[in-house]
Amino acid sequence: MKLPLHQVDAFVTTGVFTGNPAAVVQLPGDWLDDSVMLAIAEENNLAETAFLTGEGNARGLRWFTPALEVALCGHATLASGHVILEATGAEEVRFATR
């Protein structure tokens, strides 16, 4: 399975290798099985991996660490917004979370 993955540094102040990195994965349809998303997050080995569903400026969003799903992650949310806004040219994005 091939999925687009972006690594984004949120809260960057001075250039490369700064900020707080998060992976952002756009899923082609509905959510993958939780065990698959957890395995992807574990493979990325970043603090959080954000998974997105949907198209346009309304997206589903979930966050996984290498060990478990978490209820909220600020920097991965900002990273997800950046990926969507850069890809679509939209001025806003809305997330639906659990």
pLDDT band at 1 (very low <50, low <70, confident <90, very high): confident
Which residue range(s) make up the domain with 54?
A: 37-71
Residue 46 lies in a domain: yes
Q: Has 42 been annotated as catalytic?
A: no
| Side chain identity at residue 59, one-letter code | R
57: which DSSP letter? T
Q: How many domains does the chain have?
A: 1
3-class SS at 45?
A: coil
Residue 55 lies in a domain: yes
Residue 43 lies in a domain: yes
> Tens digits of per-residue pLDDT, 59-91?
999 999 999 999 999 999 999 999 999 999 999
Which residue of the set 48, 55, 91, 92 is catalytic?
Answer: 48
Q: Which two tokens stand for residue 48?
A: 């959080």
Residue 47 lies in a domain: yes
Residue 60 lies in a domain: yes
Higher-pLDDT residue of 28, 56: 28
Residue 62 lies in a domain: yes
Q: Are 76 and 24 in contact (CB under 8 A)?
A: yes
Q: Across all residues in the chain, what is the average pLDDT?
A: 95
83: which DSSP letter? H
Q: Are 13 and 35 in contact (CB under 8 A)?
A: no
3-class SS at 55?
A: coil
